[in-house]
Structure 1
Amino acid sequence: MEKFQSELVKRILILQYKPFGDVLLNTGYLPSLKEKFPNVKIDFLVRKPYDIVLKNNPNLNEIITFENLTGIKYFFQRIGLIKNIRKRKYDLIIDQLKGSGSGIISLFSGAKYRLGFNEHQFNWVYNLRTNEGSPKFTAARKFDLLKPIGIDKLSYKIEITITQDAKNYISNWLNKNDLSNSKIICVAPGSPVKSKKWNSDNYAKFCDKIIEQTDYKIVFVGAPDEQNDIQNVISKMSKGAFVAPKTDFIKAGALLQKADLLICNDGGLNHLSIAVETFSLAIFGNTDPILWSGHELGNHFYLKNNNWNYSKDDSFGISIEQAFAKFEQILALDNFPQK
């Protein structure tokens, strides 16, 4: 493999196309990368609309975007994208993905150094390689890839810029619904991945129990394609709840800043709660909370039944009683905020 010489690096490109949560987790190591290469131009290649996560990040110089195309349009777009990358003359490509697409971009990028994991199916593309380390939260795990370029510390802080426009948008909605002075819990029952969705009956009963036994208001939040999941839960509830207005990822962050707690499945909103420092309780199905929950941070919690075997049983082996007991434990913590 190539011997790395940091003094030769003047331009860096990071590859992580999607989704919202995974792109957000990359922000954790950007300060360390900037510290290692203070005078180097650092760019990020990401697919729209996930670029919104990176806007106004102080550690990036430019965000390069592309559309999600298919067929012949994808082919010609990819040729144009590679030409654009070659024209920019990057010295180092950091490929945080493990797919064929990012491998091809890395191979034809023209970069002197191409950094990727040994576990990548096209690992021969990379002249700087390393192994994934021991299981840990993915924001910390992303540092594993940076060891060949001299970065091995695991200190990270996931960052996102919540704009004043987003804050005003949420504040206005809260005012209109007489929620400005209410205690709020956000609930996100949706997911684009079916095996990540806790049973809607359980969500409905869990939310009803929270409303019955506490003075919290429930505000449901989710992406546009998760609204059916939200309405499905609401239709099974006996108590009233609120549905957040149309939000993008930044506005969702502004809403979470107003909440005391997020209850959700494994997904991007759980990572967003880490970035905006709102407590969370994530309910896990067949994914690994060690990798995806951020539990070691002290204010992000999860429920997982390790003896449960997914076979069309979307209860995940987690009862309403177990969920509510965990909820009460979180509320009883000395550091639990009352916003």
Structure 2
Amino acid sequence: MSSIGDIVLSTSFIESVKNKFPNSQIDFLIKEEFSDIVHHHPLIDNIITYNKQSGINGLISVGKALKHKNYDAVYDIHNVFRTKLLSFFFKVSSFKQIRKPRLKRWLLFYTYQNFFKKDFSHIKMYHSLLDMTENLPKTKLSVSNSEIEETKQYLSSNGVNEKFITIVPGAAWKQKQWSVENYNNLIDRILNTFSFKIIILGSKKDIICDQLSTHDRIINLKGETTLRMAMSILKLSNHTIGSDTGLLHISEALDTPVTMILGPTSKETGANVVLNNSRIVENDSLWCKPCSQNGSRKCYRREQYCLSTIDSNIVFNSLNQVVKS
């Protein structure tokens, strides 16, 4: 797996595999840069990493090593060039690969014709390899007790000893990112309505984190945490707010509900929530949405209506309903 969101969504499939084959050993192949995400996962016996920088030769080395393990079943829920290459190292009878709806997505993005079923989701797509369509497990990740205690101490040293909400304003693609003005308006409403403190999470590249309001109840941890500590913060958080990004999916997999602000992506591209008290905020009446798989395509309209039409009041009202419930 090679994106945070896909990795998180795959944990639902892992649980189903374990339920179907309770005595099985499960190995999980993942890009090295993302391997921390699945550490301490109770159902994964071995984490096998692939360094993207090693190129084709490195991938072939991984394939040769895996060939000698004689797996009873190999599930490819990614279906990209790298996994197609790896398929040559396994028995044809043991290798099972999902069929991605590439044509449907192309038609959706470029002709605006939606041929997806109403109940389509990435999790259901993965489970097609097990012929399962109902009662699918939620996503699940784990952090250890020691990680939680270390994070509590870290937060305490930053003045956080009570309930807090986490905001993840950044995104891999700018087109998925809600505006600074809207985030600041939302933050003001949260501070004036609730007693929560607010933690800002993001990488060093997320410039938007530096553009948000400052306040003695706002703790900006942009670039200050490891991925594992960020996961522990999300586990301890009362709620998480942000775009369709990996950390929002991680939050849900750690049982922390989210308010997900959807711009150019949709459930057909993998943007969805799994917890009952999570919420999606989007303008789903636009003919041009979704426009790409991951939000990378630049908007060709006069303005990016999928985000500009979502103001802070809409998001706050959604958040308020969840907090009150």
- TM-score using structure 1 length: 0.79
Cα 1:257–1:55 change in 2 (3 A) is closer
Instruction: Choose the corresponding residue for 2:151, options 170, 177, 186.
Output: 170
Asked if structure 2 preserves the Cα contact closer than 8 Å seen for 1:195 and 1:286, the reply is yes
The one-character-per-residue Cα deviations of 1:254-297 (angstroms, maximum 9, x if unpaired) are 212322211111111221221221121110001114742225x3
Match for residue 196 of structure 1? 176
Alpha-carbon separation, structure 1, partners of 2:36 and 2:118: 30
- 1:231 aligned to 2:215? no
Cα shift at 1:111:
5.0
Alpha-carbon separation, structure 1, partners of 2:56 and 2:256: 42
Please show how residues 92-241 of structure 1 align to structure 2 within 5 Å: 92-119=73-100, 135-147=119-131, 151-181=132-162, 183-226=163-206, 228-234=207-213, 241=218
For the pair shown, the structure with the greater C-alpha radius of gyration is 1
- 1:87 aligned to 2:73? no
Cα shift at 1:140:
4.0
Match for residue 278 of structure 1? 256
Instruction: Choose the corresponding residue for 1:66, options 26, 50, 56.
Output: 50
Equivalent AA in structure 2 for residue 91 of structure 1: D
Cα shift at 1:53:
2.1
Asked if structure 1 preserves the Cα contact closer than 8 Å seen for 2:166 and 2:199, the reply is yes
Q: Report how many aligned residue pairs link the two structures.
A: 296
Cα shift at 1:120:
7.1
Cα 1:278–1:166 change in 2 (3 A) is same
Match for residue 291 of structure 2? none
Match for residue 317 of structure 2? 325
Alpha-carbon separation, structure 2, partners of 1:39 and 1:173: 39
The one-character-per-residue Cα deviations of 1:200-247 (angstroms, maximum 9, x if unpaired) are 221122112211232221110123433x2211224xx67862113722
Higher relative contact order (CA 8 A, sep 6+): 2
**Is the strand fraction higher in 1 or 2?**
1
Cα shift at 1:94:
0.7
- TM-score using structure 2 length: 0.82
Alpha-carbon separation, structure 2, partners of 1:36 and 1:239: 50
RMSD of aligned Cα (Å): 2.5
Cα shift at 1:134:
5.5
Cα shift at 1:41:
2.7
Cα shift at 1:171:
0.8
Cα 1:320–1:155 change in 2 (3 A) is same
Asked if structure 1 preserves the Cα contact closer than 8 Å seen for 2:42 and 2:142, the reply is no
Match for residue 263 of structure 1? 241
Asked if structure 1 preserves the Cα contact closer than 8 Å seen for 2:12 and 2:123, the reply is yes
